[in-house]
Structure 1
Amino acid sequence: MRVFYFYHFLVYSLLTLYIKSEFIMSNQKPIILIDGSSYLYRAFFATPSLTNQKGEPTGAIYGVTNMIRSLINQYHPSHIAVVFDAKGGSFRKEIYSEYKATREAMPEDLRVQIEPIHTILKAMGLPLLCVDGVEADDVIGTLAKQAEAENLSVLISTGDKDMAQLVSGHITLINTMNNLILDPEGVEKKFGVPPAKIIDFLALMGDSSDNIPGVPGVGEKTATSLLTEFNGIDDIYNNLDKVATLTIRGAKSLKQKLLDNENDARLSYLLATIKTDVELNLKNEQLKPEPPDLNLLKDIFAYQGFNRWLNELQNGTFFKTENQQLNEPQNNAAIDSTVHQAQTAEKHYETILTHEQLDNWVKKLQTSKLFAFDTETNSVDHFHAQLIGISLSIHPNEACYIPLHHYYLGVPKQLPIDDVIEKLKPIFENDKIKKIGQNVKFDYSILANYGITVTGITFDTMLESYVLNSNDRHDMDSLAQKHLDHKTITYDELTKIDRKKITIDMVDIEQTSLYASEDADITLLLHQKLWPTLEAKEKLKTLFTTIEMPLAIILANMERTGVLIDEQQLNHYSKELKIKLEQLEKQIHELAGEVFNIASPKQLQVILFEKNQLPILKKTPKGDPSTNEEVLSELANDYQLPRLILEYRGLAKLKNTYTDKLPLMISEKDGRIHTNYNQIGTVTGRLSSNDPNLQNIPVRNEEGRKIRQAFIAPKGYKIVSADYSQIELRIMAHLSQDKNLLDAFANDKDIHRFTASEILAKPENDVSSEERRRAKAVNFGLIYGMSAFGLSKQINIARNEAKFYIDSYFERYPSVERYMENTRLLAAEKGYVETLSGRRLYLPKINSASGIEKRAAERAAINAPMQGTAADIIKTAMIAMNRFIKTQGDHIKMIMQVHDELVFEVQEDHLDQMVKQIKLIMENCYKLDVPLRVDVGIGDNWDEAH
C-alpha cells in the first residue's frame, strides 16, 4: 500500500506543476484549499516508517509538512487554508448510523502524529480549520463556493473523488489519486458525467469506502449510461418506465432494482452531497498566512530529527521567496532559455533542458570517436525500470545530464523523451562511435527498453577493474577513490533526506545532474587510468577484449530473453511443500516434547543442548552452542531431531526462495522471469545470478527437480540442456599432464570408476557403486584441497581409510601431486595463480603467518586455476554459441547459464540440427590436451532436459 500511495504522490507533484503553469498564464494566484485529512493518509502510506531519537513515529509529520511546504514554495499563495476532519462524528452519521462504519480505525502510529502536524502547520503561519459536526469536504466546499461567488480562482488539493461535484470554471481539483487534472472537462472525461451530475453518479453507484449503499447492481457503467439519458435521480424516478427501454445491459431488470432501492438511492444522494453553506463566520480575507514562528519550528525540527530543515531554517532557505525560486521562471519560455550548469573545481557539467543544448551535444557526439554514458533509473530491475535520465561525457571533466522523468514540485520543464530518444538513437546504434560504461550491461538493457540497441560498446570500467584484480571492489565510488583519489557523490547521499529514502526521480534536477554527470565523467577518467595498465598485460588485455567484454552484451540479451515459467505448477508445489512442512513441524515438536519456533536459534539451542542434552560441537562468537548447518549435519548422523530440522530448513528455503517467490517475479510483459547475471560476483571468474538465483536450485533431489519442472519450453519448442562433463577434472589432467589421467580421458573412460580401479588395484568391471562413489569424492575433493579428515567425514569412513585413498590416488597420479606442490610454491612466490586464459587470481594471504589462513590460501591456489579455466571455457562457449545463434533466426535461443551448463530453447522442427551444433561448438570452442565432452538433454522442461 505504501508503494501505491508513493507513486500517486509522484503524480501529484507533476499535476501541481501543470496547474501552476495555468495560473501563471492567467497572472492570478489561486486560493489554495488543502484537504489535510487526505494528506494525512497519503503521507503515512507514502513514506517509510521514520522515527525520531525517542522512537516516536515521524513519517506522516515529515510527509505532510514536506508536501504543504512544497506547495507554498511553488505557488506563494496569498490565501490558503489547511482543513482537517474534526474529532467526533458528522451530521451524516446522525442521518445514517452505518456511514463509514466499515472503515478500519486509524493506525495508532498515524493518530499520534496528528497533533505534531497541527503544531507545525500553525507555526508555519497557516490557517488551520477543524469544524465540529461537518467533514473537511464540507468546509472546503463552503470556502470554495464563497470564493467562486467573488470571481476568485480556487485550487483544491485532495484525494477525494467526491470533491469533483465542486468543480467549475473557477474551481479546479487536483485529484492526487490518479493521473487527471479535474477541471470541468476533466471531470466529464474521468467519470463520464459533468460535475453537476457527480452527486447523482455517486448516489447510484454508492461508495464502499464511506459505506454509502447506492443501488445494488448499479456500477460505474450503468450509472453513467443512466445519467446520459436522464438529468439526475429525480428525473430517473419520474420516468422509471423508460429505463427498461434503454439499450444498456440489464435494462429490463434495472427498473425493479431502482424501485426496490429508491430509499437507499435518495439517502445516498444526501450522504454524497458536500455542504457548501457551513456557518464558518470566516471571510476569504481571513485565509491569509501569518508570519512563521521560526523559533518554534526550529525547536520542533530539532526534536523530530529533521536536521536538513533545521539547517534550512537557520540559513533562511526553508521558505523560498519568489526571487529565490531557482527552478521557477515566470513563463514557460523562460525555462527553455535557461541554461542549467554546475561548476565544481575545473569540471563543467551541463543540464540539458532545451533542444538547442541537446542539438549541440548531438553534434559533438557525432564527431567523437569514443564517449562514456550512464543511465539513471527508478529501479535496479533492468527489464522493467523507467529511464529517469541519461548522462554523457566526451572529454575529461566535461559532461551533461539529460533529465527525462523527474517528478517533484517545482521541477523544470524537461525535454520530451521521444525527442531525446530520436536524436540519440542513431548515435548509440552507430558501431563506429565507441562507448564506455560502468556496468554497461545494465545501461544496455535500459536503453533496449526504449527501442535502442546500443552497438560499439568497447569498454566497461567495472570489467577492466575486475580483470586486473578480481579481489578488488569494482563499484564506481570505490574505483574513483582508489584510482583517482576522488570522493564521488554516492547514490545514498543523493537520495537520503533526513534519514528518509526517496527515489532519484524525486530528487532536485540540479542535484541529480551533478551526480549523474559525475558518473559519466568518472567513467571516462577511470577508463583512461585503467586501460593503459590492462593494455600493458597482453594476456589480461586479450581476456578482457575477447571474453569479458563481448560476454557482457550476450548476458544482457539472455537476461532480456528470460525463461518461461509454469506459475500453476509452482503454486501447486508450494501447497505440497506447505503440507510437508506442517507435517515435519508436528514431528519435530513431538520428538522435542514441546512446541517451539524452529527458525529461532535461541529456542533451538535450548531444545537440542539443554532439554535433549545433545553434544555441543561448536560455539558461536558469543559462546552459545552453534546450530548452523554444519553442526546439525554432523549431529544428524546420530540423532533424528537434527536430521528432521535440517530437512525442515531445506524445504522451507525452497518454498520461500523459489515456489513462493518465482511466481511473483514473472513479468507481465512476457510471462517470463528475467534473472540478473553478475559478471564480477566471484573471484574465480564464474558467473553468479540473482533475482532469482539460478545457481542454487538443487539438482539431485526430488524437491529441486520439481522446481526445475516449472522452467518450461514455449509451444513449438523444447528445452535443451548442454552440460560440460567433469570439466574441472579434465582441466586438472591438462594442467598436471598426468599420463594416467590424460589416457583415461582420451579413451573416454568413466573417470570415477577408473580412479577406483587404480586406487584399489582391481579391474574396472569389478568396482562396486560404493567404491565408485568414494573415488568420485576423492577426485573432486583433492582438487578442492580436501584433507584425509575432510574426506573421512564426507564419505563416512575412518580417517586412516581416507588417508589410504588419498595416498593411493597420488601413487597412481603422481603428476597431480607434483602440480599441486608446484602451484603452492609458485603462488607463494608471485602472490597469484593463473587460468589457462591468463586470468589472474590473487592470493593476499598465501604467505600469512597464520597457519589457518595460509592453508586456506594454498587450497584456493590449487583449485582456482581449474575453477577459473572452467569459467573461461563456458564463457568462450557462450560467445561461440552466440555467433551461431545470430545466424539462426528464431530456431534457437540461449536462455540460461548455470555452473557448467548452458540451457537453450530450440524449435522442435530444427531440434536434431541444433543439438548437433550445440555439441560441436561447445566441445571445440577451447583446446585442451584432453577432449571436452558435453552431455545434451532434451525435454519439455528443464528437469526433463537436465
Structure 2
Amino acid sequence: MTESKKTLLLVDGSSYLYRAFFAGGDNMSVTLPDGTVQKTGAVRIMINMMNSLRKEYPADYVACVFDAKGPTFRDEIYPEYKAHRDPMPDDLRSQIAPIHEIVRLLGWTVLDVPGVEADDVIGTLAATAASQGIEVIVSSGDKDLAQLVNEHITIIDTMNGKRRDLAGVEAEFGVPARLMLDYQTLVGDTVDNVPGVAKVGPKTAVKWLQQYGSLQGVVDNAANIGGVVGENLRKALDWLPTGRTLLTIKTDCDLTGWVDGLPAMDSIAAGAQDTVALRAFYEKYGFKGLAKSVGGAETAASAPAPAARASEPGLFDESAADAAAPASRVSTVEYETIFTLEALDALLARIQAAPLTALDTETTSLDEMRAEIVGISFSTEPGKGAYIPVAHRYPGAPEQLDRDAVLAKLKPWLENPQALKLGQHVKYDRHVFANHGIEVQGYAHDTMLQSYVLEADKPHGLASLAERHLGRSGISFEDLCGKGVNQISFDQVDIAKAAEYACEDSDQTLDVHLALWPQIEASDKLKFIYALEIASSEALYRIERNGVLIDAPTLAAQSHELGQRILQLETEAYEIAGQPFNLSSPKQLGEIFFDKLGMPVVKKTATGARSTDEEVLEKLAEDYPLPAKLLEHRGLAKLKGTYTDKLAQLALPRTGRVHTHYAQAVAVTGRLSSNDPNLQNIPIRTAEGRRVREAFVAPAGSVIASADYSQIELRIMAHISDDPALLRAFHDGLDVHRATAAEVFGVPVEQVSSEQRRYAKVINFGLIYGMSAFGLARNLGIDNTAAKNYIQRYFERYPGVKSYMESTRELAKRQGYVETVFGRRLQLAGIKNAKGAQLAGLERAAINAPMQGTAADLIKLSMVKVQQALDAQNKATKMIMQVHDELVFEVPEGEVEWLRAEIPRLMAGVAALKVPLLAEVGVGPNWDKAH
C-alpha cells in the first residue's frame, strides 16, 4: 500500500492583502476598547479567503507569505525597481497587523522575511518541497510565479479560476514553464518597472523563443534579427542580464529563524485553529457572527449578514452563512391569515426569534413610488407562511387590522439592521415601506439577485425560480386579478385567495434562497459579485428615492421648437418628393423612393417587399436628400414624443421629480437598465438631444455635478490584455488615442493630426466591440484594404490586444462563458456549436463582454463607495442618476469643492488595475452644462 503524497499550500499574502482591500476591504470599521477606530474590512475578507482556500485545498503544510518592510536586494541592483508603484493606502496599512494575527490564529505559519520579496520566500519553500516529491500549490494572482511551475508545483488564481500547471502555463503564454523567465526578460514587467526589449511584446517573445530555444539563443542570434525590434534587441543586450536577475524568483533564500529545519517542512505543518483566541479576536474586531460560530453548535444557525448600510458601510459585513440546508421539496403547506392583535403579536415573536425571515408586500400599484400596502406576508421556514391583510376594500370584505397600527408594531423590527430579512426584488419593497414612513434595514438576501449572479441569462421571476429550482408551481397574479382591461387591483381580491397567494410568495422565496445561497457561498468570486449586487441595490434605492428635478417650462419650449422643425421637415420632404405622402408608410415610401425617384433597392423584407427601414435610410441618405430628411424627422419625432412631451408628465406630483427605475437583473454584462423614464437612452449625439439634459436641474442653492470614468473600457483592455504599449500609454498619462495614432501611423506623438487621432479613436473603440475591417472602412469612409492595413498595424503595435482577443475566442468556445476582472460570469449560449455569422457575433460578444462587464462592476463599486462616503460624512449632496459610466449628483453650492476633490479620488480607488483609473467631474446649473 503506497503512502499518499504530502501537500504544501503557500499563499501569496501580499497579493491577498490588496485583493481583500480593493474588494471592499476599506469599508468596515470598529471602535476598539481604547477608543481608536480600526478599519476591518480587509481583515474580514481575508478570513473568508483563507478559510475558503483551506477548505478547497487541504494540505499537510501551510504558510502565508507577506512582503516585509524595507528595501530588498533588487533595490540595490536597480534603484528604479517598482518606482512607479503607488504607496500602500493608509487604510490597508492599518489592517496588516490584525491580518497577520488572524492568519496565525487560523493555523497558518506567517512569514515576512526582510531583504527579499514574498515571491522569493515562496520560491524557496516551493522548490525545497518539490525536490522532496511534495506536491506544492501556490495561491496567487501574480503571473511572474509561473516560472516556478514544474511537475510538482502548480499556481492557482482563485479570483479568476486559472490553474497554471505545466500545460496551463504553455497554453496561456505560448512557452513552456522552463522558458517563462526568458519570456519575462524579453517582454519586461511594466508593473515592477523592469524594462524588457523595446517594442517586444508577448507575440514576438514567443516567436523568438520558439525559433532560438532560449534567451541565450536569442542573444546569440541578435545580429541576425532584422527590423526595428532587432535593433532594439541589440541595444538591450547589456541590460538583459540585469533585467533577468531582477525578474528571477530566488529559490535559495536563507530562511534561518523563519522556517527551522529545512529541508524538512515540520515547522510549517498545518496547525489547528486556536478557538479561544479566535473568539476573542472576532469579538474585539466586531465580527459577531464569526464569534458565535467558533467552537460550538451555534454554527448551524449562523445567519447571513445584513446588506451594506450607510451607517456600517461595506460589501462584506458579518458572516453570510445561514443554515445552508438543501433545497426543500415542500409537500404540504401551513398558511395563516392574521386578523387580530393577539395573532399579530404571536407572529411578531416568531419572526423576531427567526435567524432569517422572508417577507413580501402586496400593493395597489407596480409603480413603487406610488404603491400603497394592501397586505404583508412572512415566512420563517419552508412550507409555512402568514399574511396580514390591511387594506382589502371590496364589498363584504372581513374586518382587518388597521394598517397604521400594524406598521407601527412592525416598524422596530423592520428598521432593525440586526433582524435579518430576505425578499424577491427587495428594492421594490423598500420603496413601498418608505411610502409609509419606514426605512427597512437588514435585508441580507434577494433571491432575484441570487439568480442573476448564478445564471444571468435565465429568467429571475419568482415563479420561474420556484419551478426551475424546486419543482414548485403556484398561483399567478393573473389567476387572482385577471388580465387587460378587466384586471382588478389587489385590494379588490378576496382575502382568502390573496392570503394563499401572498404566503406562497414568501414561502417560495425562502425555499428558493435555501437552494441558491449554498451555490453562491461555495465560490469566493460569486460571493463577491453577489455582495456587490446587494450593496448596489441599497445605493440604487437611494438614487431612485432622490429622483431628479425637472424644469417643465424648458421642456415645453423645446417641444414647441421641435414641433416647428418637424413640420418644416415634412414640407421639405413633400417638395423633394413632388407630392404629399405619409412619412410613416413603408408602402408609400417604397413607391416614391424606388418607382418615382429611382433609388436603388438596398434590401428586401422577409415577405419580399422593398425595405425602407432605418438601415436602408442611412445607406440611401449618403447619396439622396429625401432619406436624410426622413431620418432627421424620425429622430426629432422620437425625441419629442419620448422625452420633451413626456418627462414633465412623469414627474411625481409630491416631489416634482422624475424617479426612474433601475433594473439590476436584466443585462447579462451587469449593466443597469433605466425605465419609466429611460434616462440612459437620451440621444446626445445631436444638438437637440443634448438640449434635453438642460431640463435636468437642481433646486435653488444647488448645482448639478457629473462624474464619469475616462476611457474606462480602454483602460480595462490594457489591464486584461497586459499589452506593454497600452499599459505604458496609460501609466505615462498620454492621450491614448493620440498614442495609438502615433503607433499606427508611425509618427511622433506631437505630430499626430486631428484626423489621425479621430481614426485612432474609431480603431480603439471599434476593436473593443470586435469591429471588422469592413465595419472600420464603413465607419471611417475608407476602402476595405486601407482599413485592413490599419488593423494589421494596430495589432503589430499592440500584440497583447491581439493575443487577448485570440485567447478569449478560444476560451469562450471551450467553456461557454467569459468573466469580468472581478469574476462575474458572462454566458455565451450556443457558442460551442455556432458557425458562420452566429459564431462571429458571439466571438465579438466574448471579446467585449469582459470589458463592458468590468466597467459595470466598477461603476457599481463606485456608486456604493460614494454613497457610503456621503452618509459617513453627513453630506447633503444627493446621488440622483447613474448613466452608463457616469454618476450624477445634486450638490449644495457649499459642497461643490468637496465633491470636486473627493468623488474622483473615491472612484479611482475602488479597484487596483494595472493602469490607473481616472474619474473626472463637471459642474453646472443643469445636467447638460455639467458636461
Residue from 347, 352, 362 that aligns with 1:376: 362
Tell which deviates more after alignment, 660-669 or 613-622. Answer: 613-622
One-letter code aligned to 1:488: G
1:432 aligns with 2:414: no
Q: 1:758 to 1:498 in 2, by over 3 A?
A: closer
* Matching residue's letter, 1:428: L
Amino acid at match of 2:519: T
Superimposed CA distance per residue, residues 67-102 of structure 1 (whole angstroms, 9 cap, x where no aligned partner): xxxxxxxxxxxxxxxxxxxxxxxxxxxxxxxxxxxx
1:65 equivalent in structure 2: none
Post-superposition Cα deviations, 1:622-657, rounded to whole Å, max 9, x if no partner, equal 222222222211111111111111111110111011
User: 1:795 & 1:865 partners in 2: Cα distance?
Assistant: 26
Q: 2:444 aligns with which of 433, 445, 458?
A: 458
Alignment equivalent of 1:550, drawn from 535, 541, 549: 535
1:781 aligns with 2:766: yes
Q: 2:856, 2:749 → 1: CA distance?
A: 32
Match of 1:412 among 379, 394, 398: 398
Distance 2:611 2:387 in 1: 52
Alpha-carbon distance, 1:358 to partner: 1.3
Q: Which residue identity does 2:431 align to in structure 1?
A: S
Match of 2:740 in 1: 755
Aligned-residue offset at 1:418: 0.7
Q: CA deviation at 1:739?
A: 0.6
Matching residue within 664, 683, 699 for 2:668: 683
1:96-245 equivalences in 2 (<5 Å): none
Q: Deviations over 1:708-745 (max 9, x none)?
A: 00000111111110010100000000001101100101
Q: Deviations over 1:89-125 (max 9, x none)?
A: xxxxxxxxxxxxxxxxxxxxxxxxxxxxxxxxxxxxx
Whole-Å Cα distance in 1 between the matches of residues 544 and 652 of structure 2? 12
- Deviation (angstroms), 1:345: 5.6
The superposition leaves residues 217-263 of structure 1 with CA deviations (integer Å, 9 ceiling, x where unpaired) of: xxxxxxxxxxxxxxxxxxxxxxxxxxxxxxxxxxxxxxxxxxxxxxx
Query: What residue is the counterpart of 2:211 in the other structure?
Result: none
- Aligned-pair identity in percent equals 52
Q: Using the alignment, how far apart are the partners of 1:676 and 1:932 within structure 2? A: 28
Partner residue of 1:928?
913
Match of residue 218 from structure 1: none
Partner of 2:72: none
Q: 1:50 matched to which residue of 2?
A: none
Are 1:640 and 2:615 counterparts? no
More divergent stretch after superposition (378-387 vs 858-867): 378-387
Match for 1:539 among 525, 528, 542? Answer: 525
**CA deviation map 1:421-443 (0-9, x unaligned):** 01111111111111111111000
Give the drift of 1:498: 9.9
Cα shift readout 1:814-845 (whole Å, capped 9, x = no counterpart):
11000100011111111110101100001112
1:663 maps to 648
Other-structure match for 1:503: 489
Any idea what SS the aligned residue of 2:608 has?
coil
Q: Is the 8 A contact 1:369 1:432 kept in 2?
A: no
1:942 match: 927
Q: Aligned letter for 2:394?
A: Y
* Structure 1 Cα separation of the partners of residues 795 and 710 of structure 2: 23
Query: 1:402 offset after TM fit, Å?
Result: 1.4
What is the Cα deviation at residue 938 of structure 1? 0.5
Amino acid across the alignment from 2:729: A
For 2:865 and 2:484, locate their aligned partners in 1 and report how far apart those are by CA, in whole Å: 51
Alpha-carbon distance in 2 for matches of 1:842, 1:707: 36
SS in 1 for 2:633: helix
SS for the counterpart of 2:697 is coil
Shift in Å, 1:497: 6.8
Residue deviations 1:386-441 (CA, integer Å, cap 9, x gap)? 21111111110111111222221111111110111011111111111111111110
SS in 2 for 1:749: coil
Partners of 1:659 and 1:914 lie apart in 2 by: 30
Deviations, residues 159-217 of structure 1 (Å, cap 9, x unaligned) = xxxxxxxxxxxxxxxxxxxxxxxxxxxxxxxxxxxxxxxxxxxxxxxxxxxxxxxxxxx
- Distance in 2, matches of 1:407 and 1:621, equals 51
Distance (whole Å) between structure 2 residues aligned to residue 836 and residue 579 of structure 1? 49
Residues in 2 aligned to 1:523 and 1:385: alpha-carbon distance in whole angstroms: 21
Does 2:814 match 1:829? yes
Q: Tell me how far 1:861 sits from its aligned partner.
A: 0.6
Contact 1:597/1:603, CA 8 A, preserved across alignment: yes
Query: d(CA) in 1 for partners of 2:855 and 2:818?
Result: 15
By relative contact order (CA 8 Å, sep 6+), the higher-ranking structure is 2
**Could you list the runs of 4 or more consecutive aligned residues of structure 1 that deviate by over 4 angstroms after TM superposition?**
none
Greater mean alpha carbon deviation, residues 677-686 or residues 351-360: 351-360
SS of residue matched to 1:696? coil
The one-letter code sitting in structure 2 at the alignment partner of 1:468 is: L
> What's the CA shift for 1:618?
2.1
Q: Indicate whether 1:348 and 2:334 are aligned.
A: yes
User: For residues 493 and 876 of structure 1, what CA distance do their matches in structure 2 show?
Assistant: 40
Q: Distance in 1 between matches of 2:799 and 2:728?
A: 14
Q: What's the counterpart of residue 390 of structure 1? A: 376
What is the letter of the counterpart of residue 476 of structure 2? T
Structure 2 residue 788 is matched with structure 1 residue 803? yes
Does 1:842 find its partner at 2:819?
Answer: no
SS in 2 for 1:906: strand
RMSD: 1.4
Superposed displacement of residue 611, structure 1: 2.8
User: 1:880, CA displacement in angstroms?
Assistant: 0.8
Aligned mates of 1:632, 1:491 — CA distance in 2:
43
- In structure 2, stretches of 5+ residues that fail to align are 1-329
Equivalent in the alignment of 1:58: none
1:564 equivalent in structure 2: 549
Residue 890 of structure 1: how far off its partner (Å): 4.4
Note closer, same or farther for the CA distance 1:534–1:596 as it changes in structure 2 (3 Å cut).
same
One-letter amino acid matched to 2:359: F
In structure 1, the partner of 2:605 is 620
- Offset of 1:484 from its aligned partner? 1.1
CA contact (8 A) 1:378 1:387 kept: yes
**Contact 1:444-1:553 within 8 A present in 2 as well:** no
* Residue aligned with 1:802, SS: helix
The CA distance in 2 between the partners of 1:870 and 1:559, in whole Å, is 21
Aligned partner of 1:486 in structure 2 is 472
Change (3 A) 1:800 1:882: same
Match of 1:442 in 2: 428
Distance in 1 separating the partners of 2:357 and 2:607: 53
Q: Does 1:791 align with 2:785?
A: no
Give runs of aligned pairs for residues 855-894 of structure 1, distance below 5 A. Answer: 855-894=840-879
In structure 2, what is the Cα distance between the partners aligned to 1:643 and 1:805?
A: 30
- Of 537, 548, 559, 1:574 maps to 559
1:827-881 per-position Cα deviation (integer Å, ceiling 9, x unaligned) = 1111110101100001112122432211111111100000000000010011110
Q: In the alignment, which residue of structure 2 is the partner of 1:909?
A: 894
**Which position in structure 1 is the counterpart of 2:838?**
853
Deviation at 1:600, TM superposition (A): 2.7
SS at match of 2:512: helix
Q: 2:637 is matched with which residue? A: 652
Aligned length: 602
What secondary structure sits across from 1:722 in the alignment? strand
For 1:723-762, what aligned pairs fall within 5 Å after superposition? 723-762=708-747
TM-score, normalised via structure 2 length: 0.64
Residue of structure 1 in register with 2:347 after alignment:
361
Paired AA for residue 386 in structure 1: E
Give the letter for the 2:801 counterpart: V
Distance 1:345 1:536 in 2: 28
- The runs of 5 or more residues in structure 1 that have no matched partner are 1-343
SS in 2 for 1:709: helix
Q: Encode CA deviations 1:348-386: one digit per residue, 9 max, x unaligned.
A: 111222222211111111111110111111211111112
| SS of residue matched to 2:866 | helix
